[in-house]
């Protein structure tokens, strides 16, 4: 039976928070509880029960035995959690995790402050080997300040050691090379750096590129890597994380685009990085679900100007006429020929919320589509896509954690406009035991009025699928978004709080496409 491989980066000192600034503060120091949430996307019970193994790797490449060998129970749609503190008894650990399974497991990382105190959780997705960058990996946003010292994790996906070089691109232009001494990473292991360890100065804001080669290879041979960033506010309650990119695309899809929304004035900023070899022009198109707004559902186009290779620019949607008070979706474009960009979204509100998420690109139907290929004359009408959100929580308590989904149709074939509408989108809510608790029919073939226009978004949460029993504690499980068109899925988990300067804490994370391994 083939084995599937997912990779999780650990970018933290377990149970440790950076010291607060010297100024007086009353925010307590949290103790973080860390776990890996996993989901088995099988649709049928296999003849031999599926199993999953978890191995931790130290920076020197040695592994830490954990004796984690978990059965997936009955199999299909089972979800669960591996609590790191119960299996890794090392509060100062910096390293990585490799998860392997006899099923195509989908996994994510969650770090949450214990107890009822008001701290944002930290969430980011696992990587598959297919996500690895062949020689380069891009981080569109790195911020260092008195309150934030970024923790940057880089994992070697190769079976041999690699050497990495880090280049930082400040917001004002130029580049800072961190290449001496060269930094070696052992096979399957990771290196975790704090911004303060890299000589970035008291403050820094910009982007980062990681270049990797196989150690001592002549001529230099590119090494495969993945990377992510974790931020936890010193002396505050904000925390967030996001994944980097192996490369960019001509278009990046953002299911969340906001300017001054709600009582907290929430705004989503975009940090856009040029991942190409030449400068590119950048623009952002904003889309509303309402087709009555001409032209089509395009609200406005924001032109940002030229961006040099490796560099980053910030997009403020509030600079666009007509965006104030709106919650819509967007597409970030490298408008120059052969231009490539990657992007991170950052939601910031005046009531304490600060989140981050990685922008999404169009997925290759030959790899991620079920029942179709891009060369098929019937494409895309014969396709099915499956996007997984491996951990969804919705509490019946008004002060508990609740998850909300934004789902964006990302297909647009200009020469075939009649096929661009998504007409069949099901949001399936599965309990931890794999049972289908309920389905939200976001778009249906039976009702043309429910079709989702290209680049537009709609929302879902467990209440849409009637899975919440008011007498229960709520819903914990996983979600599959099954659609006839490729979609981008963004999950927001949040809860209200009542502490000075904070009314809301939460984090964003993206759904993961299931790979067609048939």
Local structure of residue 515 (DSSP, 8 states):
P
- Reading the block at residue 201, the tokens are 């100065």
pLDDT at 162 over 90: yes
d(C-alpha 243, C-alpha 515), whole Å: 18
- DSSP-assigned beta bridge partners for residue 151: 194, 230
Q: Are the beta carbons of 159 and 151 closer than 8 angstroms?
A: no
Least confident of 64-68, 78-82, 99-103: 64-68
Report pLDDT digits (tens) over 105-149. Answer: 889 999 888 766 788 999 999 888 888 888 999 999 999 998 999
| Sole residue written with tokens 């990779």 | 7
Backbone angles phi, psi at 216, to 5 degrees: 65, 15
pLDDT score of 518: 62
Give CA separation, 407 vs 91, 192, 241, in Å. Answer: 37, 33, 21
d(C-alpha 245, C-alpha 276), whole Å: 12
- DSSP-assigned beta bridge partners for residue 431: 477
pLDDT at 12 over 80: no
Query: pTM of the full predicted structure?
Result: 0.93
Number of H helices, E strands in the chain: 2, 36
- Reading the block at residue 391, the tokens are 């951990």
Least confident of 92-101, 165-174, 233-242, 390-399: 92-101
Of the candidates 167, 186, 17, the one whose C-alpha atom is nearest the C-alpha of residue 96 is 186
3-state DSSP assignment of residue 464: helix
d(C-alpha 55, C-alpha 10), whole Å: 12
Dmax over Cα atoms in the chain, in whole Å? Answer: 66
Report pLDDT digits (tens) over 242-297. Answer: 999 999 999 999 999 999 999 999 999 999 999 999 999 999 999 998 766 655 68
Pairing of strands 457-460, 354-358: unpaired
- Reading the block at residue 459, the tokens are 């929302």
> How much of the chain, in percent, has pLDDT values that exceed 90?
55
3-state DSSP assignment of residue 318: helix
3-state DSSP assignment of residue 26: coil
| Band (20; pLDDT cuts 50, 70, 90) | very low
Give CA separation, 151 vs 191, 251, 342, 425, 495, in Å. Answer: 10, 28, 20, 37, 25
Q: Are the beta carbons of 307 and 249 closer than 8 angstroms?
A: no
Q: Are the beta carbons of 489 and 407 closer than 8 angstroms?
A: yes
Of the candidates 363, 296, 358, 309, the one whose C-alpha atom is nearest the C-alpha of residue 336 is 309
More reliable by pLDDT, 59 or 354: 354
């Amino acid at each position: 039976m083939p084995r599937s491989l997912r990779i999780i980066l650990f970018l933290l000192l377990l149970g440790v928070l950076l010291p607060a600034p010297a100024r007086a503060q009353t925010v307590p120091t949290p103790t973080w509880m860390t776990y890996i949430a996993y989901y088995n996307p099988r649709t049928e019970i296999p003849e031999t029960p599926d199993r999953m193994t978890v191995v931790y790797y130290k920076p020197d490449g040695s592994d830490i035995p954990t004796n984690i060998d978990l059965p997936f129970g009955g199999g299909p749609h089972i979800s669960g959690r591996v609590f790191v503190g119960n299996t890794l008894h090392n509060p100062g650990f910096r390293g990585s995790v490799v998860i392997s399974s006899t099923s195509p497991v989908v996994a994510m990382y969650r770090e949450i402050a214990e107890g009822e105190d008001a701290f944002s959780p930290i969430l980011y997705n696992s990587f598959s080997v297919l996500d690895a960058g062949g020689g380069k990996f891009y981080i569109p946003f790195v911020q260092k300040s008195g309150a934030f010292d970024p923790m940057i994790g880089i994992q070697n996906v190769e079976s041999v050691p690699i050497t990495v070089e880090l280049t930082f691109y400040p917001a004002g232009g130029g580049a800072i090379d961190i290449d001496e001494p060269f930094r070696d990473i052992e096979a399957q292991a990771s290196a975790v750096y704090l911004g303060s360890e890299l000589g970035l100065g008291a403050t820094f804001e910009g982007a980062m590129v990681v270049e990797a080669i196989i150690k001592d290879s002549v001529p230099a041979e590119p090494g495969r890597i993945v990377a992510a960033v974790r931020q936890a506010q010193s002396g505050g309650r904000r925390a967030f994380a996001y994944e980097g990119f192996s490369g960019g695309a001509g278009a990046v899809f953002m299911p969340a685009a906001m300017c001054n929304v709600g009582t907290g004035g929430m705004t989503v900023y975009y940090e856009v990085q040029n991942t190409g070899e030449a400068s590119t022009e950048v623009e952002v198109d904003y889309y509303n679900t309402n087709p009555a707004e001409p032209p089509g559902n395009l609200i406005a186009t924001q032109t940002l100007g030229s961006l040099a290779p490796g560099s980053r620019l910030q997009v403020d949607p509030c600079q666009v006429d007509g965006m104030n008070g709106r919650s819509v979706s967007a597409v970030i474009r490298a408008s120059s020929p052969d231009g490539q960009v990657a992007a991170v979204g950052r939601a910031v509100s005046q009531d304490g919320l600060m989140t981050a998420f990685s922008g999404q690109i169009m997925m290759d139907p030959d790899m991620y589509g079920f029942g179709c290929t891009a060369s098929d004359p019937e494409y895309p009408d014969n396709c099915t896509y499956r996007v997984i959100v491996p951990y969804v929580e919705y509490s019946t308590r008004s002060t508990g954690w609740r998850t909300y989904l934004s789902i964006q149709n990302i297909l647009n074939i200009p020469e075939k406009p009649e096929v661009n509408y998504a007409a069949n989108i099901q949001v399936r809510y599965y309990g931890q035991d794999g049972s289908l608790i309920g389905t939200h029919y976001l778009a249906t073939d039976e009702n043309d009025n429910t079709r989702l226009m290209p680049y537009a978004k709609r929302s879902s949460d467990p209440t849409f699928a009637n899975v919440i029993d008011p007498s229960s504690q709520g819903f914990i499980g996983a979600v599959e978004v099954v659609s006839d068109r490729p979609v981008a899925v963004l999950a927001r988990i949040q809860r209200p709080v009542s502490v000075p300067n904070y009314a809301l804490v939460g984090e964003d994370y993206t759904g993961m496409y299931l790979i067609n391994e048939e």
